[in-house]
Amino acid sequence: MSKEEKKVNRRDFLFTASYTVGAVGVGAVIWPMIDQMNPDKAQQALATTEVDISSIEPGKSITVLWRGKPIFIKKRTSEEIAEARAVKLDDLPDPQKDEDRVKDGKDEWLVMLGVCTHLGCVPLKDKGDFNGWFCPCHGSHYDVSGRIRKGPAPTNMEIPKFEFVDSNTIKIG
Amino acid sequence: MSEHEYTPKSKAGKWFNDRLPLLTLGAHLTDYPTPKNLNYWWTFGGILTFCLITQIVTGIVLAMHYVAHADLAFASVEHIMRNVNYGWLIRYIHSNGASMFFLAVYIHIFRSLFYGSYKSPREVIWIIGLMIYLLMMAAAFMGYVLPWGQMSFWGATVITNLFSAIPLVGDSITTWLWGAYSVDNPTLNRFFSLHYLIPFLILGLVVLHIWALHVPGNNNPVGIDIKKPSKDTVPFHPYITIKDAFALLVFMIIFAGFVFFTPNVLGHSDNYIPANPLVTPAHIVPEWYLLPFYAILRSVPDKLGGVILMFSAIFILFVLPWLDTSKVRSAVYRPIYRQFFWILVIDVLVLGYVGAMPAEGIYLVLARVGTIYYFLHFIVVMPVVGFLEKTDPIPMSISEPVLSGGAEPSVARKVNEKI
């Protein structure tokens, strides 16, 4: 009996070892098949864009394309900044201070991903109940800081990584 | 598969059949005993087969002229419409063919719901059918992206963003689906590849669907088990083939009506504007056949909740055979369930209508009521009615109501007239 058991155990070991090596092998083949669908080098190469912002008037905004997505660059008036900062954090579904959405000392410049955080449509400017943006797809309202106020979108519009190269140029990405 | 042995008459036939029993399969399909009372709602299986073959043939031809590149796709579709010989015809058959495919599949599904065709012992047929339906939606969605118009682009954006609702890994999954940081050329390329693949997956599942059907045999309007073959059955050929052929002919007339007279009525005019990643059209609507699910998605004021509910609306159908507690299959003998069935039909139509309307005011209210009823129907009505309902007496055989002048008066009357 014990002799037989020992034999079975040896075979079990071989089975387990074979399955393990087989699984690793299958995984090693499957991963490239999956990863090939991720953004390729050419897509990643588009990671930064420089934008000249010298011609934007206060209260106006421009839209530029970065990584295939629109970026809203808005030069806000002092009234608009004041309005954004007067909002109580309790009134926000995704509480975030306006100060945290802009660069220190460059409070007039709002640079954000012009993509509704619901299902990815591009919100329309100067529309909606909060003086900011309104997404026509499923009715999300954003305020003048790009924060979600009403509708199905779960979070504020995203702020991309960006920096001021000089006072007239920003680099996104 | 066949109950009786089949021997080919010719020597060559016998030689071949001994090595690959294709002739036995052919004989099985020809003689396949079919309930003699199948009505025209049962002709949609054949119609759907026709739709699938039409889509595959026209699709292969279109792929000979189409270019799957973000810069060229829109122009290549216009090239098909204007320059390719009969390109306009082939493309209009393909695009309207998708709608006709869904029209037929919805009738097919609701027929199954009415006559209880999803119930034991046909659960596997039902589940394979739902898998086909899911693949059809995937194929249709990706196909709609290929012309790279505004609706293509933004439809693709909205649908792929559904996956971003998944906690933690959502954004990575969405980027992976795109192959870029937004819907872009890599997305178009892979959608084309998958759009070409899926119809053949569907074809494989159709074979399984029919195979699974041929094990218990067809359900029928009376919904009772029958002996096969018996006086309750007729051979598939020529009885069913000729009936299916007639129904297909009528279906093709309607199909041709769309293709030749209003080829764009089911599409959206915005898709004749080239894709622009900077501007979202004012009203994004999916194709008509996805509208009920779109209405469910929009009825929830929460991103993840809406996505979960929308997918649940489809996946709940997979467990339907176990939610329905009634032993009686056909709604003909279920006076209470029958009424709820029609409420469900109206409910789905209402959801489809509000799915096409802006998500505000009365439409939003209707969408919410419709969504609640949709789920109530499957989760509450089906199990409870199955328990409580007093069903009408079911006949012993298909022939019985005819001969006794009972349950199906129209059939009975016809026999009397002959006498």
Which tens digit of pLDDT belongs to each residue from B27-56? Answer: 999 999 999 999 999 999 999 999 999 999
Flag whether pLDDT at B397 surpasses 90.
Answer: no
Flag whether pLDDT at B372 surpasses 50.
Answer: yes
Interface size, chain A vs chain B, as Cβ–Cβ contacts under 8 Å? 92
Query: Tens of pLDDT along B91-105?
Result: 999 999 999 999 999
Flag whether pLDDT at B266 surpasses 80.
Answer: yes
According to the model, what pLDDT value does residue A98 have?
Answer: 87
* Chain B hits for A40, Cβ within 8 Å: 179, 186
Average pLDDT score over residue span B332-343: 96
Query: Tens of pLDDT along A150-162?
Result: 888 889 999 988 8
A71 touches chain B (CB under 8 A): no
Assess whether A138 carries a catalytic annotation: yes
Task: Verify whether the Cβ–Cβ distance B181 to A43 is below 8 Å.
Answer: yes
| For chain B, percent of residues with pLDDT exceeding 70 | 95
Flag whether pLDDT at A7 surpasses 80.
Answer: no
A69 touches chain B (CB under 8 A): yes
Q: Report residue B391's pLDDT band, with 50, 70 and 90 as the boundaries.
A: very high
* Chain B hits for A153, Cβ within 8 Å: 303
Flag whether pLDDT at A5 surpasses 90.
Answer: no
Average pLDDT score over residue span A107-125: 89
Q: Which residue has the tokens 């008037």?
A: A57
Q: Report residue B361's pLDDT band, with 50, 70 and 90 as the boundaries.
A: confident
Query: Is A21 strand, coil or helix?
Result: helix
Contact call for residues B77 and B147 (beta carbons, < 8 A): yes
According to the model, what pLDDT value does residue B412 have?
Answer: 42
For residue B282, the chain A residue with the least C-alpha distance is A136
Average pLDDT score over residue span A19-27: 94
Task: Verify whether the Cβ–Cβ distance B301 to A63 is below 8 Å.
Answer: no
A40 touches chain B (CB under 8 A): yes
Task: Verify whether the Cβ–Cβ distance A121 to B280 is below 8 Å.
Answer: yes
For residue A42, the chain B residue with the least C-alpha distance is B180
According to the model, what pLDDT value does residue B415 have?
Answer: 42
Distance from CA of A56 to the nearest CA of B (A): 18
Task: Verify whether the Cβ–Cβ distance A67 to B182 is below 8 Å.
Answer: yes
For residue B302, the chain A residue with the least C-alpha distance is A152
Flag whether pLDDT at B332 surpasses 80.
Answer: yes
* Chain A hits for B164, Cβ within 8 Å: 119-120
Query: Tens of pLDDT along A85-110?
Result: 888 888 888 888 888 898 888 888 89
Flag whether pLDDT at B71 surpasses 90.
Answer: yes
Average pLDDT score over residue span B165-189: 92
Task: Verify whether the Cβ–Cβ distance B281 to A136 is below 8 Å.
Answer: yes
According to the model, what pLDDT value does residue A10 have?
Answer: 86
Among the ranges given (A19-23, B22-26, B228-232, B314-318), the one the predictor scored with the smallest mean pLDDT: B228-232
Among the ranges given (A105-109, B11-15, B19-23, B337-341), the one the predictor scored with the smallest mean pLDDT: A105-109
Average pLDDT score over residue span B387-400: 89
According to the model, what pLDDT value does residue B410 have?
Answer: 47
Q: Is the pLDDT higher at A85 or at B369? A: B369
Q: Report residue B402's pLDDT band, with 50, 70 and 90 as the boundaries.
A: low
* Chain B hits for A172, Cβ within 8 Å: none
According to the model, what pLDDT value does residue A4 have?
Answer: 59
CA distance B112 to B101: 17
For residue A125, the chain B residue with the least C-alpha distance is B279
According to the model, what pLDDT value does residue B285 have?
Answer: 87
Flag whether pLDDT at B419 surpasses 60.
Answer: no
Flag whether pLDDT at B405 surpasses 70.
Answer: no
Q: Report residue B416's pLDDT band, with 50, 70 and 90 as the boundaries.
A: very low
ipTM: 0.76
Q: Report residue A173's pLDDT band, with 50, 70 and 90 as the boundaries.
A: confident
Distance from CA of B385 to the nearest CA of A (A): 36
Distance from CA of B199 to the nearest CA of A (A): 21
Task: Verify whether the Cβ–Cβ distance B179 to A39 is below 8 Å.
Answer: yes
According to the model, what pLDDT value does residue A2 have?
Answer: 55
For residue A41, the chain B residue with the least C-alpha distance is B180
According to the model, what pLDDT value does residue B338 have?
Answer: 95
According to the model, what pLDDT value does residue A136 have?
Answer: 84
Interface of A with B in 111-170 (CB under 8 A): 117-124, 135-139, 151-154
Which of A6, A7, A138, A161 is labelled catalytic? A138
Query: Tens of pLDDT along A141-150?
Result: 999 889 998 8
> For all residues of chain B together, what is the average pLDDT?
92
Flag whether pLDDT at B226 surpasses 80.
Answer: yes
* Chain B hits for A139, Cβ within 8 Å: 358-360
